[in-house]
Structure 1
Amino acid sequence: MSLSHPDFELYDNVGRTGEQIKDHRGNRPTTDDLHRWAAHDAKQFTDSLTIEDAGQSVIAWTRRLYQVRTTAEFQAVATAVLGDGHSALSELHQFLETAAEWCERSHEPKIAERYRRHAEQLSELGYELSYLTDDHLADTYRRTHPSAPAQPTSGPAAAPAPPAAPARRPSR
């Protein structure tokens, strides 16, 4: 395979890793090369984006955890990141599903299947995390209200089997 990308020939091996030197000698790009080339080739598109970095909203919510004083406040933050609807986890799930659809349209069915598999795993994790936050709330309520029932009546005792097709969970 002959690579025609302009900076592939610029290597002088100074400061390069063994992998980079080996890949260059084999006329193969490294993963770093591929990422750098993609960033270069997409620069016009990415410069036109007016949205913040994807992880910034999660960083802001993580900082909020340091300000939390009560279980109710903790629950509000955890639900924003891990919960139903438009939480960070739900939106990441939707991103993976959309990436799978894009790969299918681009005739990359094996990559699409991998995105879908990870979306399904993320959906299963979302269910588990949802029940974890519900259990946390129930435990706190029982400690502060000794006459409270042992288990919350609104949630199941164990996580249900994941849906056949990964989808956003409906709001409770």
Structure 2
Amino acid sequence: MSLPHPDFELYDNIGRTTEQIAAHRENRPTADDLCRWAAYDAREFSASLPAEDAGQSISDWTRHLYRVRTAAELNTVAQAVLGDGHSGLAELHLFLETAAEWCERNQEPGIAARYRQHAEELSALGDQLAYLSEDHLASIYRHPNRSAPAHPAPAPAAAPAAPAARTRRTR
């Protein structure tokens, strides 16, 4: 099967990438060709999608990091992006699982398995990031002299008053 290469004229290697030259020799499309063709074929569907980039909300959360002053504030932002529930990471995991289901319904089990594998890897990464967050908080709150606000101490029990400290005599 011969696939057209609309951006590649025969014997014109000037300004071409190694991938483009190899693809032309092997009579196969480049990754850019495939993406461009898919975008063209999906242009009607694409018009119904939100105008903003999917990663824009993560970019917004990243900008919040510049305002963070304490470990508690960092944890709040990190949990919004990396935590359980409706975090960015959890939604990306759901996206990968849904893509795998679509591939299975459309008789592409090999691609579905790869989506699932990446969803599992993402889940494992999420676990590691949760441990990192816990370690960070534990480190901060175990050392109250740091810049993070000290963990509220329990009210002291009624104890006898300590003897007054001796005053130092000057000569």
TM-score category of the 2 structures, normalised to the smaller one: 0.7 to 0.9
Which deviates more, 94-103 or 25-34?
25-34
Q: How does 1:1-172 map to 2 (within 5 A)?
A: 1-3=1-3, 8-12=5-9, 13=12, 14-50=14-50, 52-144=52-144, 145=150
Tell me how far apart the structure 2 counterparts of residues 146 and 102 of structure 1 sit (CA, whole Å). Answer: 48
Higher relative CO (CA 8 A, sep ≥ 6), structure 1 or 2? 1
- Structure 1 moving runs of 4+ over 3 Å: 145-148
- Higher helix fraction (1 or 2): 1
Which deviates more, 138-147 or 110-119?
138-147
Gaps of 5+ in 1: 149-172
Q: Alignment identity in percent? A: 63
Q: 1:126 to 1:18 in 2, by over 3 A?
A: closer
Instruction: Report the RMSD for the aligned CA atoms in angstroms.
Output: 1.9
Tell me how far apart the structure 1 counterparts of residues 132 and 19 of structure 2 sit (CA, whole Å). Answer: 43
Alignment match, 2:156 = none
- Structure having the higher Rg: 2
Which deviates more, 89-98 or 41-50?
41-50
Shift in Å, 1:51: 5.2
Q: 1:142 to 1:11 in 2, by over 3 A?
A: same
Q: 1:21 to 1:143 in 2, by over 3 A?
A: same
Q: TM-score, normalised by structure 2?
A: 0.78
Shift in Å, 1:69: 0.3
How many residues get paired?
145
Q: State the Cα deviation string for residues 137-160 of structure 1 (Å, max 9, x = none).
A: 111111115998xxxxxxxxxxxx
Q: Report the residue type matching 1:39 in the other structure.
A: A
Tell me how far apart the structure 2 counterparts of residues 23 and 53 of structure 1 sit (CA, whole Å). Answer: 30
Gaps of 5+ in 2: 145-149, 154-171
Q: 1:29 to 1:66 in 2, by over 3 A?
A: same
Q: TM-score, normalised by structure 1?
A: 0.77
